[in-house]
Amino acid sequence: MFDNVENYTEDNIQTLEWNQHIRLRPGMYIGKLGDGSSPDDGIYILIKEVMDNSIDEYMMGYGKNIKITVDKGVVTIRDYGRGIPLGSLQDVTCKMNTGGKYDTRAFKKSVGLNGVGIKAVNALSSDMFVTAFRDGEMRDIDCSAGVAKSVSDIQCTNEKNGTSVRFTADEAIFGSYDFNLKYIETMIKNYCYLNTGLVISLNGTKFSSKNGLLDLLKDNVKEDFAYEPIHLKGADIEVALTHGSSYGETYFSYANGQYTTLGGTHLSSFRESIVKTIKEFYNKNFEASDIRASIIAAISIKIENPMFESQTKTKLGSLEMSPNGVAVRTYVIDFMKKHLDNYLHKNPEIADAILRKIMQAEKERKEMSGVRKKAREFAKKVSLHNKKLRDCRIHLNTSHNLREESTIFITEGDSASGSITKSRNVMTQAVFSLRGKPLNTYGLTKKIIYQNEEFNLLQSALNIEEDIDNLRYNKIVVATDADVDGMHIRLLLISFFVQFFPDIIRSGHMFILDTPLFRVRNKKETVYCYTDEERQNAIAKLNNCEITRFKGLGEISPDEFRAFIGENIRLEKVRITNADPLKELLSFYMGKNTADRQDFIINNLRIEEDLVED
C-alpha cells in the first residue's frame, strides 16, 4: 500500500543553522512575505522589528528622537538610546536567543522579548550594517543573510549614543518589492501615539503626539463623535473612548507599544470593563450589545514579560500584568471601574450623552426584534425547501460555534455553485448560492436587509442576525466570475458587510477567491495562470500548447476546481482599517452615479486587448 513512499532514514534528518531556518521558514518570524502592497507584508515587519528595539530604549528613558530613511530598497534606522554594548554587538546581531530583553533590570515592559527580531532582519537581508555608539566609542558589523562578513575594532567617536541599523531586504526571499511610505507613516504614527514626547522622522518629515490615544482617535476615525472622547491615563494603562454613528464596534488595542490587531486578553477585559462600569454607574441591567453599539475606543497597556501568540505579536496572550501575579483582567476592570466612574460623575453632560446613545441602541434593538423573529421563521421555512446553503459536516448537528478550519463560499449561479460543491472538502467547506445580483444596500436600514430574502438567508447561514460573535465560519470567501457582472456582485456583497457588519472584515474573516484565468497545457504538463504575464511565461515554457480562457467559474470542471480550493487556494483578504472613511467610500462607489464617479471610471478604465488563444 505504501510502496511509493520514500524511505525515512538518517539521511532525511537535517540540522539547520539559525539563519538557514529563518530563511527556509520566514513565515514563522515575519508572517507572510508579500511585495509591499499590503501593510502586513514582511518587509514592513522587518522595519518594525528594528523599530521595536529603538522604542524600548525610549520607554526606558533614553533617546527621544528616532530617524528613519527609506531610499528605494534600503532602510536606515538611527536611534539615540544607550547603544548596543560594543563587546556584544556580534552576538546581538548574529546569535539566536541573545539580547538584553531577558534582563528586566535593563528593559522593563518592552516589546522585544525573545532575542529573535534583529536576527530575523539579519537573516532575511541581503545586506545589514549595524553601528553601535556608546560613551565616545563605536563599533560596526557588516552582515549578509545572517552571516557576519566583518566586525570592526572599537574606535573613538563624537557621535551621540545609540544604534544605527541599515538593511536591504533580500530579493532572493521576498522577490521584487516596493515600500509604500504611507504604510510606514501609519506605523510611525502609532508609535508616537503610544509614546508622547517621542519624535520620529521619516525621510525628514517629523511625527509626534501630545495627547496620545486621544490624538489617535481624532486623527484616525472618520466619523462624527457622539460626545468628546473620554481620555483616561494610569501608570501602565491608557484608554480613550466615545461613540460614533456606524454599526459595529471599533477598537485600537496595544500592548507594550505593539498594535495587537487581533486583540487578546487586554482587549477582551477592556470590553468587559466598559459594560460592567456602565451598568453599575446607571444602576441598570443594560444589554452589553446596547452599551457597546457604535463604540469607538482605544486601549494601551504595559506589562512585564508579555506573552504574544506569535513572533509578529498581533494578539496578546498574557494573563498577568507582572511577576507579582496581578491579572490583566482584574487590573483593567479595576482601573475602569474607578476612573471611568469618576469621570462620569464629574462630567454629567457626557454621562447623559452616553445614556442617550445606549437608549437609542436599545430602542432600535427592540424594534428589530420582531423583524428578526419573522426573518428567522422565514429562513427556517425556506431552508426546508431550498439548497442555498450546503453546509459543512463540522457544523451539521453541532452548536453554532466558530471553527478555525471552517470556510463558506458565497457564489452566484447554479453552475458555479455546483462546481464548488462537487469540489469542496465537505468536512470544512460550505457553499451558499446567491440567486442573481444581490440588493444594493447603500443607504438602507437593517430592517430592509432583514426583509430581503437573499440577505436574510445569508445572515441566517452565517448566524450573525443578532451578534457577529456567533459567526459560524472562520473564513467567508466571495467566489464570483472575473468579469464585469462578477465584479459587480463582489462589490455589492462587500458593501453589505462594510455597511452592516464591518467588524467581520476588520477581524479578518472576509476574502476574495482568486481563480485562474487561463489553462495552458500540452500532453505532458498543465499550467494554470492567474495573470496574462503567467500565461505568457507558460506559453514560452510549454511547446505546442493548448490555451483555454476561463470566462466563468462554471467553466472550470470540478476536478480542476478541487486544486483551486484545496491546499493551494489563493485568497485575497478584504481589508478595511479603523481609519477608512466608510461612509464616504460607500457613497462614492454605491451611491447615485455622480459626475465625480463617472470621471473616476473614465480616468481609471483599463482597456485590454482581446487575448487570442494560440
pLDDT in tens, 580-602: 556 666 666 666 666 666 665 55
Domain ranges of the chain: 19-207, 213-361, 386-515+550-604
Please tell me the predicted confidence (pLDDT) of residue 400: 46
User: For residue 447, is pLDDT > 80?
Assistant: no
Taking all residues of the chain, what is their mean pLDDT, rounded to a whole number? 81
Residue 432, C-beta contacts closer than 8 angstroms, at least 6 positions apart: 388, 389, 390, 408, 409, 410, 411, 457, 458, 461
β-strand partners of 572 = 512
Nearest to 296 by CA among 249, 255, 362, 341: 249
Average pLDDT over residues 287-309: 84
- Higher model confidence: residue 40 or residue 206? 206
Please tell me the predicted confidence (pLDDT) of residue 101: 45
Count of helix runs (H) and strand runs (E) in the chain: 21, 23
Please say whether the beta carbons of 550 and 513 come within 8 A.
no
Split at pLDDT 50, 70, 90, the class of 242 is very high
Q: Is 544 exposed, middle or buried (0-12, 13-18, 19+ CB in 10 A)?
A: exposed
Nearest to 92 by CA among 46, 148, 21: 148
Question: Mind giving me the DSSP string for 318-340?
Answer: --BSSTT--BHHHHHHHHHHHHH
Nearest to 147 by CA among 23, 312, 26: 23
C-alpha cell at 497: 458587510
Instruction: Locate all alpha helices (DSSP H) within 514-591, ordered by sequence.
Output: 532-541, 558-564, 582-590
Whole-number Cα distances in Å, 433 to 252, 419, 479, 556: 35, 11, 10, 17
Relative orientation angle of helices 582-590 and 595-604, to the nearest 10 degrees:
80
- How far apart CA 142 and CA 131 sit, in angstroms, is 9
User: For residue 346, is pLDDT > 80?
Assistant: yes
- How far apart CA 299 and CA 317 sit, in angstroms, is 16
Residue 96, C-beta contacts closer than 8 angstroms, at least 6 positions apart: 18, 115, 116, 119
Nearest to 566 by CA among 490, 506, 513: 513
Residue 343, C-beta contacts closer than 8 angstroms, at least 6 positions apart: 230, 232, 350
Question: Mind giving me the DSSP string for 66-91?
Answer: EEEEEETTEEEEEE-SS---GGGHHH
Q: Which fold does the domain 19-207 belong to in CATH?
A: Heat Shock Protein 90 (3.30.565)
SS3 381: helix
C-alpha cell at 302: 504595559
Please tell me the predicted confidence (pLDDT) of residue 364: 83
Nearest to 349 by CA among 529, 434, 227: 227
Report the Cα–Cα distance between both ends of the chain, in Å, rounded: 43
Among the ranges given (84-88, 207-211, 319-323, 542-546), the one the predictor scored with the smallest mean pLDDT = 319-323
Give the H/E segment covering residue 129: strand 125-134
C-alpha cell at 581: 472613511
Q: What is the rounded radius of gyration, in angstroms, for the C-alpha atoms of the chain? A: 27
Split at pLDDT 50, 70, 90, the class of 381 is low
C-alpha cell at 413: 449561479
- How far apart CA 251 and CA 169 sit, in angstroms, is 32
Please say whether the beta carbons of 542 and 583 come within 8 A.
no
Residue 7, C-beta contacts closer than 8 angstroms, at least 6 positions apart: none
User: For residue 608, is pLDDT > 50?
Assistant: no
- How far apart CA 242 and CA 122 sit, in angstroms, is 42
Residue 221, C-beta contacts closer than 8 angstroms, at least 6 positions apart: 244, 250, 296, 578, 579
- Strands 162-169 and 155-156, sheet pairing: unpaired
Residue 571, C-beta contacts closer than 8 angstroms, at least 6 positions apart: 475, 477, 511, 512, 513, 514
Please tell me the predicted confidence (pLDDT) of residue 575: 80
C-alpha cell at 138: 563605536
Nearest to 423 by CA among 481, 520, 415, 521: 415
In CATH, the architecture of 213-361 is 2-Layer Sandwich (3.30)
C-alpha cell at 214: 486621544
Among the ranges given (222-231, 235-244, 395-404), the one the predictor scored with the smallest mean pLDDT = 395-404
- Compute the C-alpha angle 170/174/180, nearest 5°: 100
SS3 58: helix
Please tell me the predicted confidence (pLDDT) of residue 27: 80
Give the H/E segment covering residue 43: helix 42-59
Split at pLDDT 50, 70, 90, the class of 377 is low
Nearest to 515 by CA among 476, 473, 475, 568: 568
- How far apart CA 382 and CA 377 sit, in angstroms, is 9
Average pLDDT over residues 2-18: 64
pLDDT in tens, 163-204: 999 999 999 988 889 999 999 998 999 999 999 899 999 999
C-alpha cell at 553: 467559474
Does the predicted model carry a pTM greater than 0.75? Answer: no
Q: Which amino acid is at 65?
A: N
Please tell me the predicted confidence (pLDDT) of residue 159: 93
Q: Report, in this order, helix, strand and coil percent for the chain, each rounded to 5.
A: 40, 20, 40
Please tell me the predicted confidence (pLDDT) of residue 610: 41
In CATH, the architecture of 386-515+550-604 is 3-Layer(aba) Sandwich (3.40)
Q: Is 430 exposed, middle or buried (0-12, 13-18, 19+ CB in 10 A)?
A: buried
Please say whether the beta carbons of 147 and 23 come within 8 A.
no
